[in-house]
């Protein structure tokens, strides 16, 4: 058996607020250095050696995914009306053996006559084949992909390394010829402003989108700067209104927003502010046919809905429509001529509602859209037609594959347009949702708070503490982990696993207050909540500590890493993906990507000694203890700009140095050398990577499964 790599200690002293800390692995911050790259290569080789016995299981798990996935498939066509009068059905297809989608369109007129495009019908046009763009590239990701209002041009951007630095391109759809644009690195977003102008974003040295530009195709004049954001807490974004007459510019921090509107058809128009920036005021803007519709937190911590005239100058011009409601976190609104569709969350579940315009021009009361499961995810997809009387809904749960429905806003009539197929497995046979059970349990946290946890397992599983289990968590940015379906997860469930997600504080499952109770100085609640959920699983017979794996990625990697230090005895294994485990060091360095914009999430330890002390008390890298730990698999990517590869590399080196060695509980680091925060880009390699992770989990907590 090979010996684990030992990273050399090169002491570096960090001093803040009178606290001097020796960091032996600070040298890893130079992620392009030859010695660091050699260290990552050594870790990869060690991981290969330590998991070589799992080759057969990996192939079996990869085969599970292939067998159950309809690899040649397509999306349901959606009709788009262009400004030149043409109408096209847009859809995407995947082809077995190809990694990426092929985006297509077909001329059409009747919104009720959705065409059958299974066999590439006559007249089909390929808008963009991502496989051709990705050919010969080790990595490919599509950013912007937007057809011009007249339907004649396509603007798209591509990332070829995983570092989220995009190249902007424009083509004529009639002959595929390329339209010259400036060769600048751009952020991933953007939109059209008319048929021959593009709005795009550029970034500063910290990779913060800080400038919005207007480019006129074919013009030799310099691009026009529409907006510059000098405040490093804020980042910019762009979008277009539903009728494509307005460009929406946004500047947002974690707790303050400011929006502008720009007339898309006027190349000389100036952006007009919707509501001037006020510290702590968050709002979003939806451009309706008759007014602006604004979701905001002015006097409403869980957010309310207001309307405003197009020339509104601020909150004083807003007219209340839907007040803040107890237990309901309002997230957004889609405005159509005769209907408003509200998206909210309540009791860790989505809530979709429809308001119908009254004869006097006002709006009726919110009418909920019902779903027939106790746990589920659901969303209302945006329709580009402001006059529509129908929208599309997506729905899924822990036991129900993703389903797309058409929903009539006037009658409530529903029609299933597509249900994701789970193909027959050669061993387990047809997929039967009734063979699995999902449930919600409430866990008492250390301070008495009730924390929701969602659980799924096979219906025939015995609750006798012998089942292996995975506990997943995140808990940041007010992100809600609503129940979702997963084909790869079936490979665990069919091997007798319990799979659970802990809806810890810091997430958004129970509203803004739930988020506030797990951020800044209250951040430790996220970690103790996760430990409480782990203890609950063992104390109530779902599993035992020696059969429980904790799993989380990015900020969820921080959650499981900190929980690991709090209660190493609660878990048998931990999988931390692109984990934010050296949080304090990162938040002390304002030159790193995202640091300053993240201070409103985690706190500013550089200038605030109380925040510094809090973060030092929980950051996983600095709190490793010399006791027995679970087996650990850290997965990361070299080109990740959101959580630098340095963080998991330092963490693993620290664990190796401090934790007593145990050959039965290895500590492993696996780095993708050409990928970003989301891992590799092609779907087949992504499935292989997932099979690698699942095989490791099974080997640690259910070696006989």
The answer to whether 451 and 478 have CB atoms below 8 angstroms apart is no
Torsion of CA 328, 332, 334, 335, to 10 degrees: 80
Q: Nearest to residue 200, comparing CAs of 247, 139, 259, 136?
A: 247
Q: What sign results for the dihedral spanned by CA atoms 380, 601, 189, 75? A: negative
The answer to whether 187 and 203 have CB atoms below 8 angstroms apart is yes
DSSP 3-state of 645: coil
d(CA 125, CA 90): 10
Q: Nearest to residue 242, comparing CAs of 212, 274, 286?
A: 286
DSSP E strand stretches across 430-482: 436-444, 450-458, 469-473
HEC sequence for 42-77: HHHHHHHHHCHHHHHHHHHHHHHHHHHECCCEECCC
Q: Nearest to residue 250, comparing CAs of 225, 222, 284?
A: 284
How many Cβ atoms sit within 10 Å of the Cβ of residue 11? 10
Q: Which residues are catalytic?
A: 554, 640, 677
Helix, strand, coil percentages, rounded to 5, for the chain = 20, 35, 45
Residue 6 tokens read as 């030992």
CA 618 to each of CA 73, 167, 559, 621: distance values in angstroms, whole numbers, following the listed order: 45, 39, 10, 9
In the chain, DSSP finds a helix count (H) and a strand count (E) of 12, 40
Torsion of CA 367, 373, 375, 379, to 10 degrees: -50
Q: Which residue has the tokens 């590799």?
A: 680
The helix (H) or strand (E) run that includes residue 43 is helix 34-50
The answer to whether 349 and 399 have CB atoms below 8 angstroms apart is no
The answer to whether 393 and 419 have CB atoms below 8 angstroms apart is no
Q: Nearest to residue 502, comparing CAs of 541, 538, 550?
A: 550
d(CA 495, CA 488): 12
Q: What is the DSSP string of 655-680?
A: HHHHSPP-TTS-EEEEEESS-BTTB-
Torsion of CA 451, 452, 454, 460, to 10 degrees: 80
């Amino acid at each position: 058996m090979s010996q684990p790599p030992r990273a050399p200690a090169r002491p570096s002293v960090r001093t803040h607020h009178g606290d001097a800390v020796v960091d032996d692995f600070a040298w890893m911050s130079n992620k392009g250095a030859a010695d660091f790259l050699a260290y990552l290569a050594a870790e990869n080789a060690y991981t290969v050696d330590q998991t070589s016995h799992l080759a057969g299981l990996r192939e079996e798990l990869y085969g599970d995914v292939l067998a159950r996935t309809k690899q040649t498939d397509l999306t349901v066509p959606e009709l788009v009306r262009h400004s030149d009068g043409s109408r096209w059905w847009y859809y995407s297809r995947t082809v077995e053996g190809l990694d990426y989608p092929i985006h297509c369109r077909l001329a059409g007129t009747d919104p009720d006559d959705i065409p059958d495009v299974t066999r590439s019908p006559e007249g089909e046009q390929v808008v963009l084949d991502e496989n051709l763009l990705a050919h010969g590239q080790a990595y490919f990701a599509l950013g912007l992909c937007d057809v011009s209002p007249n339907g004649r041009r396509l603007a798209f951007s591509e990332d070829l390394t995983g570092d989220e630095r995009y190249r902007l391109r424009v083509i004529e759809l009639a002959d595929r010829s390329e339209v010259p644009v400036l060769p600048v690195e751009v952020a991933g977003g953007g939109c059209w402003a008319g048929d021959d102008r593009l709005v795009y974003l550029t970034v500063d040295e910290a990779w913060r989108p800080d400038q919005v530009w207007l480019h006129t195709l074919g013009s030799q004049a310099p691009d026009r700067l529409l907006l510059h954001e000098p405040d490093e807490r804020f980042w910019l974004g762009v979008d277009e209104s539903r009728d494509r007459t307005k460009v929406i510019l946004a500047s947002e921090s974690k707790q303050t927003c400011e929006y502008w509107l720009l007339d898309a058809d006027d190349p000389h128009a100036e952006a007009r502010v919707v509501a001037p920036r006020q510290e702590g005021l968050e709002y979003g803007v939806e451009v309706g046919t008759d007014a602006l519709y604004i979701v905001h937190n002015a006097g409403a911590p869980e957010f309310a809905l207001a309307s405003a005239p197009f020339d509104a100058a601020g909150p004083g011009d807003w007219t209340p429509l839907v007040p803040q409601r107890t237990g309901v976190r309002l997230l957004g609104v889609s405005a159509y001529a005769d209907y408003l569709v509200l998206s909210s969350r309540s009791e860790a579940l989505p809530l979709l509602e429809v308001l119908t315009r009254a004869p006097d021009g006002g709006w009726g009361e919110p009418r909920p859209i019902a779903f027939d499961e106790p746990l589920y995810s659901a969303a209302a997809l945006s329709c580009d037609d402001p006059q529509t009387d129908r929208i599309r809904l997506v729905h899924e749960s822990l036991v129900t594959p993703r389903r797309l429905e058409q929903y009539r806003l006037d009658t409530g009539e529903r029609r299933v347009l597509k249900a994701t197929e789970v193909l027959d497995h050669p061993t387990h046979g047809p997929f039967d949702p009734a063979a699995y059970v999902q449930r919600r349990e409430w866990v008492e946290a250390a301070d008495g708070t009730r924390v929701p946890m969602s659980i799924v397992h096979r219906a025939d599983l015995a609750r006798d503490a012998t089942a292996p289990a995975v506990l997943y968590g995140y808990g940041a940015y007010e992100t809600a982990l609503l129940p979702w379906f997963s084909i790869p997860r079936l490979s665990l469930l069919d091997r007798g696993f319990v799979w659970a997600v802990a809806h810890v504080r810091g997430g958004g499952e129970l509203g803004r207050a739930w988020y506030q109770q797990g951020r800044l100085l209250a951040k430790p609640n996220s970690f103790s909540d996760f430990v409480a959920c782990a203890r609950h699983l063992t104390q109530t017979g779902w599993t035992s500590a020696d059969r429980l794996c904790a799993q989380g990625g990015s900020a969820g990697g921080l959650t499981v890493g900190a929980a690991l230090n709090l209660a190493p005895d609660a878990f048998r294994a931990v999988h931390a993906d692109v984990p934010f485990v050296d949080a304090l060091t990162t938040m002390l360095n304002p030159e790193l990507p995202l640091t300053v914009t993240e201070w409103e999430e985690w706190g500013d330890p550089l200038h605030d000694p109380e925040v510094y002390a809090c973060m030092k008390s929980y950051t996983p890298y600095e709190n490793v203890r010399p006791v027995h730990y679970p087996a650990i698999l850290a997965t990361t990517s070299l080109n990740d700009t959101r959580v630098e590869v340095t963080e998991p590399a330092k963490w693993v080196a620290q664990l190796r140095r401090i934790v007593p060695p145990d050959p039965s509980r290895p500590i492993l680091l696996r780095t993708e050398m050409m990928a970003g925060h989301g891992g590799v880009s092609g779907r087949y390699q992504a499935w292989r990577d997932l099979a690698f992770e699942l095989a490791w989990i099974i080997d640690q907590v259910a070696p006989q499964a």
